[in-house]
Chains A and B, each alone.
Chain A
Amino acid sequence: MRVPEFLLWKKPPENSISFRVATLASVMCGILATLYEQQWPSFGWLVVSATIFGFWLSYRRRNETNWVIKIFLSFGMMFALWDFLSNLYYNPLDPRVPLANLLLWLQTLHSYDLPARRDLNYSLTTGFVLISVAAVLSHDMAYVPFIVVFLVCALYTLVYNYLSQAREERRVVAAMPDFLTLSRLVAGVALLLVVLGGVIFLFIPRGQGMKIRPLPMSLHLNAPRNGSGEVRNPSYPNTNGRVSQSQRRFDPDSYNGLSAYLDLNLRGRLSDDIVMRVRSSEEAYYRGLGFNFYNGRGWEIREENLQQVISPAPPIMLNIDGVGEKEIVQIFYIEKDMPNIILSAYHLSQLFLPSDTVYVDAHGGVRTAFPLETGLVYSVISMSRPPRPAVLRRLAQRARVATSLEKKAAALDLNLPETVPARVKELAEELTRNKVGNYEKAQAITNYLQNHLEYSLDIPPFDDNKDVADEFLFHYKKGYCEQFATAMAVMCRSVGIPARLVTGYLPGTYNPFTGYYEVKNSDAHAWVEVMVDRFGWVEFDPSPGYSGVPQALSAPKSNFVLESLVRYMKNRLGLEVTDVGAFFRSAFAALAAFAQRAGPAGWAVLAAVFGGLAFAMVAIVRLGRRSLEQAGGLPGLRRWARGMTARAGGFVRRLGRAPEGPRRGGDVAVAWHQMVDALASHDCARRPGETPHEFSARAEAVIPAGQAHIERLTRLFEAARYGAEPASAEQVAEAQSALAGLREALRQPSPA
């Protein structure tokens, strides 16, 4: 019986040097990317040089049996496996790095046994796996050059592989394409892949994922574990609430909300440096500390009842203020030294930390015995409890006995200093009149604050002798998150609702490429937790422009990356999509930073990338010119463009028919947003953080002709958006009438 060809031990040798060089280049891309993302471990150069030598030796000995080499390779593979297993034994929670190292060694060893085409194909597959491993390890945009160069090299490899197949057992008649011709072909295919891949990337749905355990965490700690659980923020030492003017020094690199005392009169802008990157299954606020004691000028943590929680093996099981039904998994990569406070989505349940001990205070704060140093990785699982207003209203209407959590909150989170003037309480009572239950009352206060006070980071320090909440509500009427949160907490307490101020960070900017939420210093934030009857603590964010109820953040999140990409361009790079110049400045700065970080190799990679781009551009221009000639010149091109436009129009129209999710506020909100869009096209765009009321006032000044319509529509929108009842059909009709009237007014020529 004849043995099938694919089972034969001996394979025909591959003689193409070009094919081998292209494969080596692809593999080297994968290796370099993985080594770079691992901060170039000590064996990096060994892997690189041994792989290159292996490829050379494989080519020289491609016709030999190489038994001796194979025996050595077997031993080498056993060593790599032993190295992998031992690394995994020491760090079972994060197999990524041991796995990456195993793949690196396997690739290195495999490069010594590449006699045939099939072996080179296996090498390309390993190179692809390595570049994917680097993708998992990557935190930033420095991965871009690697994947671009890999794409080009892999295309060359695939094309050479195909040429090798085509030559096999065939007579070559017309000469095979030379390198230049092949390069044109590769450039065209690469361009096509980038464009097509980009479109596909935008429309790949992103699942919530993160279902596989265990979660990663750092293996070792550099900082000593000598704390006792007290809050330790080097920039803001604990002063027990007594802060002199000389001690009031603002540190732009550290948020004072993550310290034992939150001074509300400290002014300054936090830097835009990234403090951490977070992988999160849901978009959520990162909660740090809860403050319960308000002294009129700031917040303190009192009666913290610090409890030590010990767990000999991860995870550390916690139960912060009860657990809900919605699981949120988060992995934190600390990029800058931070205080010893664990940040997580609210209702922390499990903590994977390189420590067996944490401390939990009575206000939901979790602290470590060591500061969170740069490079630390920890993971959390939170069980969130999104509030359901209808259910909460029903619960509030029932006669009941206070729960233990409510009793505790009543004892800890209701006190107010005597410095708080009565008008604060009067305002709170007025706002919460006729509201049922704490949730509706807190919602009413939130709506008031979001719509009637201005968000501004540029405010002067308030008078030290006056109550901050009162000054903010009745005198300055502008402030930032801490003033808004303080005002809300004070107002809630004044009407008997237990409330506390919470500090932490906003979700940050989602980077659709890396998959991380990039959290900057300036994302530091303060908000409020309110005790809701028979439910527990509910987060409220009264700052204008932010979500009123942070737990509900994830509900409207898009699964598609397109929206995230636009948001990323706008927020992370600090530019609008149309600001092309700024985009390129940012991109070049990022590339230069990468090259400086990587040294000569980085510059070489950069040069190769730009060389490739230049080549691709030349090829595109030549291709375009030729296409134009062959398409029949400009008239032909116009015909083609008309056809494509018609097709694209049809596609967009079909997309437009897809059902949209309900907009909060219903059709009135839709009309209001249409008004905002209409005004934006008349040089009156809504500013970030501007409340509808503020925007309305400004718009009326800019466009006097539409004053009545704008005012009417804004009033309707506020009622529908923030009111307890949905808009009636009459209100919707009125809103649409106002919108039509405004559009008519905008069409009229200006008096000037």
Chain B
Amino acid sequence: MIFRLLRAFFRPRDEWVIVFLGAFMLFIAVNTQTGWLYVVVAVLVALLAVGFAGPRVTLRGLEVVRLPSAPAWEGETVTMRLRVRNTSRWRRFVVTVAETPPFPTEDGKPMRFALGVIPAGGGVTLEYPVRCLHRGARILGDVVLASATPVGLFPVSRNFSAPGELVVYPRGPILQRVDLMSLAPRSASTSRTYNRIGHSYDFQGIRQYQFGDDTRFVHWPTTARTGQMMVREFKEMGAQRLTILIDNGLEAAVGPPGRAALDDAARLAASLVTHAQLTAAHVTLVAADADGRPQMLHNARGAQALDWLARLQAVDAPHWSVLAREAAPQLDRHGRTMVLAGRPADEAAIQLLVAERLQLVVVLLESDSYAGIEGEGTDWAESADRLAATGAVVRRHAAGGDLGRILSAGGRMAGVRA
């Protein structure tokens, strides 16, 4: 309050200075009967009137359109583009534009531009680079246009709607060689990668078609008989099927923006999806939706999967084991199920998982470390041991660790601290 008063005293607004001068000159004019001072006062009043109307007229007929930006990866720099259009019949002079960028700038201030002249019926395009700091779908809102044209008095600012979205894909480590089979303790370890799925594999059965299934394996006779699309399933194909269940509960989102366990989970999932695309594996993504129910993306591939991961948000979700149980009917029990967990598993969770008989690979992303909480990690260790005891492959990962090593041989195994 004191600062505001001091500021008003030391840096009064120009309008108030003019009002004061006008009132003072009117007082002098009346007292001294000076006609010219009446002229001066009249001009000052006119100046205030023009100064008041000018900015409001200037902002009339202006529109802001946001030009779309392509999705970007974390760490990339993208160009944001806005076009200020003048739909009026007159040129517009000196309009300032302010926008809060999708990611904070170095000085933390909004982006501010000054537009000199906007031609009548034309427009001016603004561009500014933005470094995408972390994954997400950033909703871009209003742009503030301000003007005090022509004489700098009575500045007025208005919010102009310029809807838009910037999608930033999670960028995980590049996986050179990952054998999903090696993550499964009950299968024989092999270093082969399956670039294609051939007919030499053992036939396992026929099941209902799922989105993303290769149409080459449609079993037409059964399809014709049942009226539903059915596909053949081979034993070896199970190894090439991976379900990634991401724990997007609130605990997993604790941490600085872009550095929560959930973000690392998304990065890891993105890496796996990209890798699976190269190896023609079939990946299904699972996470909780806003209601805590499992939402799934079958045959997650390319931009679609990355977009899904970019938009993944923390919700008030049940424990990931509950989510796994609810999603289990739709999962392929012959494939692997990788859980990127931000919460440890207690006894009840273990019971649930055992009942579902899933081939689990659990990556415990220790959310305590993401939140900056120093601890013994007992819960995580116990959880890892319990899970390992059920036959699951368990990896632990703390904040700041190398994500790329989780799926490699160097990753910490259950019960082993790095």
Binding site for B on A (CB under 8 A): 4, 6-7, 118, 121, 125, 128-129, 131-132, 135-136, 138, 143, 147, 151, 155, 158-159, 161-163, 165-167, 169-177, 181, 185-186, 189, 192-193, 196-198, 200-201, 204, 206-207, 209-212, 279-281, 511-516, 561, 630
What is the number of contacts between chain A and chain B, taking CB atoms within 8 Å? 172
Which B residues are CB-close (under 8 A) to A172?
Answer: 113-114, 116
Given contacts A172-B116, A630-B89, contact A6 B11 (CB under 8 A): yes
Q: Is B148 an interface residue (CB 8 A)?
A: yes
Query: Once the chains bind, are A279 and B33 in contact (CB under 8 Å)?
Result: yes
B151 near A155: Cβ-Cβ < 8 Å: yes
Which of A136, A177, A201, A515 meets B42, CB within 8 Å? Answer: A201
Interface centre among A7, A171, A516 (most CB of B within 10 A): A171
Q: Per-residue CB proximity of B25-48 to A under 8 Å, as 1/0?
A: 110111111111111111101110
CB pair A197 B3 closer than 8 Å: no
Q: Does B150 contact A (CB under 8 A)?
A: yes
Within 8 A of A (CB), among B105-160: 109, 111-118, 124, 126, 128, 148-153
Q: Are B151 and A158 in contact (CB under 8 A)?
A: yes
A115 to chain B, nearest CB (A): 16
- Are A147 and B33 interface neighbours, CB within 8 A? no
Chain B residues closer than 8 Å to A514, beta-carbon distance: 34-36
> Chain B's nearest CB lies how many Å from the CB of A523?
19
Structural contact, A173 and B115, CB atoms closer than 8 A: yes
Interface pairs (28), CB distance under 8 Å = A6-B11, A128-B21, A131-B40, A135-B34, A135-B39, A136-B36, A138-B36, A147-B39, A155-B151, A158-B152, A162-B150, A162-B152, A163-B94, A166-B94, A169-B109, A169-B112, A170-B96, A170-B113, A170-B114, A172-B116, A196-B46, A201-B39, A204-B38, A207-B30, A209-B30, A279-B34, A515-B32, A630-B89
Cα distance A157–B127 when bound, in Å? Answer: 31
Question: Which residues of B sit under 8 angstroms from A630, Cβ to Cβ?
Answer: 89-90
Shortest Cβ distance from B320 into chain A, in angstroms? 47
Contact B40 A132 (CB under 8 A): yes
Nearest CB of chain A from residue B178's CB, rounded to whole Å: 46
Q: Does B17 contact A (CB under 8 A)?
A: yes
Name B116's closest neighbour in chain A (CB-CB).
Answer: A176
Determine how close the nearest CB of chain A comes to the CB of B328; give it in whole angstroms: 55
Listed in ascending order, the chain B residues whose CB lies under 8 Å from chain A are 3, 6-7, 10-11, 14, 17, 21, 25-26, 28-43, 45-47, 49-50, 54, 89-90, 93-94, 96-97, 109, 111-118, 124, 126, 128, 148-153
Set of chain B residues within 8 Å of A136, measured between Cβ atoms: 28, 32, 34, 36-37
Interface pair B128/A171, CB less than 8 Å apart = yes
Indicate if the CB atoms of A200 and B113 lie closer than 8 Å. Answer: no
Q: Shortest Cβ distance from B78 into chain A, in angstroms?
A: 17
Contact A162 B94 (CB under 8 A): yes
Q: How far is the CA of A181 from the CA of B92 in the complex (A)?
A: 11
Q: Are A166 and B33 interface neighbours, CB within 8 A?
A: no
Which A residues touch B114, using CB under 8 A? 166-167, 170-173, 176
Looking at the assembled complex, report how far the CB atom of A31 sits from the nearest CB atom of chain B, in whole angstroms: 16
Judging by beta carbons under 8 Å apart, are A159 and B117 in contact?
no
Task: Check A173/B94 contact, CB under 8 A, given A143-B36, A158-B152, A192-B50.
Answer: no
Is A204 touching B36 in the complex (CB atoms < 8 A)?
no
Contacts of A125 in B (CB 8 A): 17, 21
Please tell me if the beta carbons of B38 and A175 are within 8 angstroms of each other in the complex. Answer: no
Which of B26, B115, B117, B151 makes the CB contact (< 8 A) with A189? B151
The 3 closest A-B pairs by CB, nearest first: A162-B152, A515-B35, A135-B36
Is A176's CB under 8 angstroms from B94's CB?
yes
Most buried by B among A147, A210, A515: A515
A151 touches B38 (CB 8 A): no
Question: Would B35 and A193 count as touching, CB distance under 8 A?
Answer: no
* List of A residues within 8 angstroms of B46 by Cβ: 192-193, 196-197, 200
Say how far B159's CB is from chain A's closest CB, in angstroms: 18
A159 to B39 Cα, complex, angstroms: 22
Residues from chain A with a CB closer than 8 A to the CB of B97 are 173
| A623 shortest CB reach to chain B, Å | 10
- Chain A residues within 8 Å of B10, by CB: 6-7
| CB-defined contacts of B3 to chain A, threshold 8 Å | 4
Cα A151 to Cα B90 in complex, Å, equals 24
| B31 contacts A211, C-beta separation under 8 Å | yes
A residues near B45, Cβ cutoff 8 Å? 197, 200
CB of A94, distance to nearest CB on chain B (Å): 11
- Nearest CB in chain B to that of A192: its residue: B50
Contacts of A197 in B (CB 8 A): 39, 42-43, 45-47
Contact B126 A173 (CB under 8 A): yes
Contact across chains for B35 and A512 when beta carbons are under 8 A apart:
yes
Contact B152 A206 (CB under 8 A): no
In the complex, the chain B residue whose C-beta lies closest to that of A184 is: B91
Minimum CB–CB distance from A594 to chain B (whole Å) comes to: 15
Distance in angstroms between the alpha carbons of A169 and B97 in the assembled complex:
12
> A6-B6, A159-B152, A162-B148 given as contacts; is B33 within 8 A of A177 (CB)?
no
Q: How far, in angstroms, from A206 to B152 measured CA to CA in the complex?
A: 30
The answer on a CB contact under 8 Å between B32 and A279 is yes
**Chain A residues with CB below 8 A from B14, complex form:** 121
Chain A residues within an 8 Å CB radius of B30: 206-207, 209
The answer to whether B42 touches A198 (Cβ under 8 A) is yes
Q: Is B116's CB under 8 angstroms from A177's CB?
A: yes
B25→A174 contact, CB < 8 A: no
**B-chain residues with CB within 8 Å of residue A165 when the two chains form the complex:** 148, 152
- Please, which residues of chain B bring their CB within 8 A of the CB of A176? 94, 114, 116-117
**Shortest beta-carbon distance, B287 to chain A, in Å?**
40
Q: If the complex has contacts A162-B150, A166-B94, A173-B113, are A280 and B128 also in contact, measured as CB distance less than 8 A?
A: no
Instruction: Chain B residues near A561: list those with CB within 8 A.
Output: 35, 38
A513 and B21 within 8 A (CB): no
Check if A515 sits within 8 Å of B96, measured CB to CB: no
